[in-house]
Amino acid sequence: MWRSIASNALTLFIVILIAMAALVAWGRNEFVKPGPLAGPICLQVERGASLSGVSRNLEERGAITDARIFRIGAEYADRAGDLKFGSYMVPTGASMEQVLQAITESGKSTCGRDLNFRIGVAKSDVILSELDLTTNAYVEVARFDAGVDPLPAEYIEIADDPALVFRITVAEGVTSWQVVDSLKKADFLTGALETVPPEGTLAPGGYEPARGTERVALINEMTERQSAILAEAWANRAEGLPYDTPEEALIMASIVEKETGIAEERGQVASVFINRLQQNMRLQTDPTVIYGITKGESVLGRGLRQSELRRETPWNTYVIDGMPPTPIANPGVEAIRAAVNPETTDYLFFVADGTGGHAFAETLDEHNENVARWRAIEAAQGAEEEGGVQGE
């Protein structure tokens, strides 16, 4: 009798194990198979949202078949507590696994309304965009100059939308004063900025502050990022550089940044200035003269005068030896890398070539020929512009 009971119990236990295994396999298949979504949706994960609430929202909108399986899968993947605030596009047929990855991994919003506050060298502007789910492309809704233009109706209408994603894009080559002045105009940030950070210490690039972020906190993030970039570049620097500290490399990087906007030229431009330093030649670079005039607080907006080229300031490399005492802008990562790992050349001169780039030369005679060509191009362009005005 007991043997029969034990045998039946063992059989039942095996049946239960098989059923559980089948249930787990079914659940796993439900979690990874393509989902039921017939068209893409934009999912908003609010601050402090729970996995339970998000999973119910997904089920109600037809993005997943079962909220419980989604939660169990998240627990099994050890991601139940990793929800990231933001707006995420859930594509057609996305599996539960793919949805979980989207809302727990990068934290980078991929849909919804997007406000990009762009800090540029000439001005700051704001672009309001919205993702078109049918094309998966952002469409511009409104654009305005921060602190200059009146706020457009499109922005006022959605300014308090919790789904609005804020971005700040800092252009390479802007000055620290420009960054601070622009951030004061960003109405979605809070707090005062009492001082301007040292020139060159703010990393250009993209940032995604939340509404209400302290301006000081954002400046600290920019500073920490630039410090890390500089430290890594300095640790991997070439031998034989004519400067001994990362701070001096940052000065060189800022000059390179202001001299060329063409990525492929940065290493060559850096080589020119390094060759000049090694031969005890003055750098003679116009952007340093401009910085001595504006202190980075404005755009000169005109050509330099001969008197300005001769005027002595701490930054005027036509009259001082070596490098200026501080950077003249905030260089990007590629300019920093070029400053510590320049190309190996014998170039000592460069001038604009009429295509947006520069013509490089090893000797003064070669340079004078390049200058003559550039002057001819300038004259031709001037004649065309003059003819265009007369013809209107």
- Alpha carbons within 13 A on the beta-carbon side of 340: 22
Give Cα 150 to chain centroid, integer Å: 27
Q: pLDDT band for 272, please (50, 70, 90 cuts).
A: very high
Reply yes or no on whether the pLDDT at 234 is more than 90. yes
Amino acid at residue number 153:
A
Tell me which of 359 and 44 has the higher pLDDT. Answer: 359
pLDDT at 103: 81
pLDDT at 161: 74
pLDDT at 356: 82
- CATH of span 2-104: 3.30.1490.480
Give Cα 195 to chain centroid, integer Å: 23
- Separation CA 228–CA 221 (nearest Å): 11
Give me the phi and psi of 228, to 5 degrees please. Answer: -65, -40
Average pLDDT of 327-356? 93
Q: pLDDT band for 268, please (50, 70, 90 cuts).
A: very high
Reply yes or no on whether the pLDDT at 127 is more than 60. yes
pLDDT at 390: 28
Token readout for 361 is 């030369």
Q: What pLDDT digit, counting tens, does each position of 56-97 carry?
A: 888 888 878 888 888 887 787 777 778 777 778 787 888 888
Q: Can you give the C-alpha Rg of the chain in angstroms?
A: 29
Token readout for 197 is 């950070």
Q: Where do the domains of the chain lie?
A: 2-104, 113-216, 232-378
- Separation CA 333–CA 233 (nearest Å): 9
Token readout for 75 is 């627990």
Tell me which of 148 and 76 has the higher pLDDT. Answer: 148
Q: pLDDT band for 391, please (50, 70, 90 cuts).
A: very low
pLDDT at 320: 94
Percent of the chain exceeding pLDDT 70 equals 89
Reply yes or no on whether the pLDDT at 117 is more than 90. yes
pLDDT at 392: 25
The mean-pLDDT minimum among 81-95, 177-191, 367-381 falls in 81-95
Reply yes or no on whether the pLDDT at 306 is more than 60. yes
Mean pLDDT for the chain overall: 84
Reply yes or no on whether the pLDDT at 40 is more than 70. yes
pLDDT at 8: 57
Which of 97-111, 128-142, 170-184 is predicted most confidently?
170-184
- Identify whether the C-beta of residue 210 lies closer than 8 Å to the C-beta of residue 86: no
- Identify whether the C-beta of residue 168 lies closer than 8 Å to the C-beta of residue 119: yes
Reply yes or no on whether the pLDDT at 28 is more than 70. no
Tell me which of 383 and 357 has the higher pLDDT. Answer: 357
Give me the phi and psi of 320, to 5 degrees please. Answer: -100, 155
Average pLDDT of 152-163? 76
Question: CB neighbours of 381 closer than 8 A, spacing ≥ 6?
Answer: none
- Per-residue 3-state assignment (H helix, E strand, C coil) for the chain: CHHHHHHHHHHHHHHHHHHHHHHHHHHHHHHHCCCCCCCCEEEEECCCCCHHHHHHHHHHCCCCCCHHHHHHHHHHCCCCCCCCCEEEEECCCCCHHHHHHHHHCCCCCCCCEEEEEEECCCCEEEEEEEEECCCCEEEEEEEEECCCCCCCHHHHHHCCCCCCEEEEEECCCCCHHHHHHHHCCCCCCECCCCCCCCCCCCCCEEECCCCCCEHHHHHHHHHHHHHHHHHHHHHCCCCCCCCCCHHHHHHHHHHHHHHCCCHHHHHHHHHHHHHHHHCCCCCCCHHHHHHHHHCCCCCCCCCCCHHHHHCCCCCCCCCCCCCCCCCCCCCCHHHHHHHHCCCCCCCCEEEECCCCCEEEECCHHHHHHHHHHHHHHHHHHHHHHHHHHHHC
pTM of the model: 0.76
pLDDT at 29: 66
